[in-house]
Amino acid sequence: MKSHEIVRRWLDFFEKKGHAVVPSASLVSPDPSLLFTVAGMVPFIPYLTARETPPFPRATSVQKCIRTADIEEVGKTVRHGTFFQMCGNFSFGDYFKEQAISMAWELLTSPVEQGGYGLPPEKLWITVYEEDEEALAIWRDQVGVPADRIQKSGKKDNYWSTGQPGPAGPCSEIFYDRGPEYGIEGGPIADETRYIEIWNLVFMQYQRGAGIGKEDFEILGELPQKNIDTGLGMERLAMILQGVENMYETDQVRPVLDKAAEISGREYTSAESDDDPHHTDDVRLRVVADHIRSALMLISDGVTPSNEGRGYVLRRLIRRAVRAMRLLGVENACLPELLPVSRDAMKGTYPAVADDFERISRIAYAEEKAFLRTIASGTARLEEAVKESKAASKPISGEDAFTLHDTYGFPIDLTLEMAEEAGLQVDEAGFRTLMAEQRQRAQADARGKKLGHADVTVFREMLAEGETVFTGYDELNTESTV
């Protein structure tokens, strides 16, 4: 079943169950506290927190999402993309646990001829929050899932809150068993590679008080308006229904992977274990396919490369894709070959990527060109530093990392990545100290010379760049559970 068909069935099913069909919001989060839309619920936050009266009691959507917190997982696990689509159904003080659970089960297990996804019930496993006896009883007694395929789990995975006072509540998750060839028996609690999480059902029923983080807090009482918020990973379901090994091999992503393999002359083998000699190349090909798609979708939603915030994320995605291609042996610009393939894979669902491709591609290609220039100028200097530090059995010095940044425009994350590939560490603390000293010098200079307007602008830009390197990723770790 192709992705567009999965999406169509989702929306049809919930529309028939009385849900308003709401188009995906932008990847640029409509909620000001988040950089990106990280889950289907984000556009509905005002209704879920009862700050606004919802125009409908129940809604469904297929939401474009970006989760930068998952960037390091991409290509290594079978299930994490930086971009993915979250299918969701929502109740704002309308139906609750029982209907949410029974509808989820119905959609997943109804035969394909009847509009469902036709998953075999015996392949599905359930987790519930350890104190949520109500959800456990619904799954076991009403849906009829055998008790030995329902597992209890703690706050970390099966309790939702924003980390702040406000709505909170237990979750129940649905997993698909890929079979004994993928790992050990024992359900999702034992093995999250064999048992793939596909759907999270959040039951917002309590008012959370103050506390620490997402696990240590008080519950003040029941919410006057109980909500349902669910999220199913479209690509994860696609991977199961298309009978492929991971989400990068599904119909909207695989064409880019194949193109990258073709350009680099590498054979893609679906290697999952890092003992497999093909694994390193396969991970790189998956990273390329994932990041190219994310870049396409981000630029389409108005993000442009820059040194801070969203633009920095986009910059990093493009640079990581280009780097992965270089490590696969391709030194020339490759976005002009890869981006149109991603466009063609995505335009059926998102016509804007084709309509606006002239603009999107101009931005993406310029960014790749600029990065290739940076690499060309700094690589020889980095290689020297690698040689010296290997000879001395020491990490790459803070001075070297600073020179690479200051003279060659090598961002510290690139130095860190390239050093890691050479099996070396970098004296990051030393680098930070030098950066801070440079900033202080610049500040003192600016004060001493009473610089005019133009010079101050340059100084601000420099400051902004320094800040980005250090704090960029903190603000990005804003992943939420649905």
Least Å from the CB of residue 376 to ligand ATP: 33
Q: Which partner, Mg ion, ligand ATP, none, binds residue 233 by CB below 5 to 8 Å per kind? A: ligand ATP
Alpha helices in 113-269 (DSSP H): 133-137, 155-158, 234-241, 254-264
Spatial distance between the Cα atoms of 482 and 230, rounded to a whole number of angstroms? 7
What does the DSSP assignment read for 205-227? EEEEEEEETTTEEEEEEEEEEEE
Contact 448, 419 (CB under 8 A): no
For 192, other C-beta atoms within 10 Å of its C-beta total: 15
The stretch among 190-198, 326-334, 403-411, 420-428 that binds Mg ion (CB under 5 A) is 190-198
Nearer to ligand ATP, 190 or 376 (CB): 190
Q: Is 61 in the site for Mg ion (CB under 5 A)?
A: no
**How would you label 39-60 residue by residue, b for 16+ Cβ within 10 Å and e otherwise?**
bbbbbbbebbebeeebeeebbb
199 forms part of the interface with ligand ATP (CB under 6 A): yes
Binding string, 225-264, against ligand ATP, x = CB under 6 A? ------xxx-xx----------------------------
Looking at the Cβ atoms of 200 and 415, the one nearer to Mg ion is 200
CB of 199 to ligand ATP, least distance (A): 6
Q: Which of residues 47-86 bind ligand ATP (CB under 6 A)?
A: 67, 70, 79-81, 84, 86
Give the tokens for residue 198: 């596909």
- Given its phi and psi angles, is residue 92 left (phi above 0), alpha (psi -120 to 50 degrees) or beta? beta
**Residue 282 binds ligand ATP (CB under 6 A):** no
Q: What residue number has its CB nearest to ligand ATP? A: 233
The entry of Mg ion, ligand ATP, none that residue 136 binds, CB within 5 to 8 Å by partner kind: none
What are the Cα distances from residue 127, in Å, to 132, 194, 337? Answer: 10, 15, 43
Identify which of residues 29 and 468 has a Cβ nearer to Mg ion in the complex.
Answer: 29
Query: What three-state secondary structure class fits 40?
Result: coil
The window from 192-200, 208-216, 390-398, 404-412 that contacts ligand ATP (CB under 6 A) reads 192-200
**Two tokens, residue 184:** 């050990």
Among ligand ATP, Mg ion, none, what binds residue 198 when CB lies within 5 to 8 Å by partner kind? Answer: ligand ATP
Question: Using CB under 6 A as the criterion, which residues of the chain lie in contact with ligand ATP when the complex forms?
Answer: 67, 70, 79-81, 84, 86, 197-200, 231-233, 235-236, 481-482
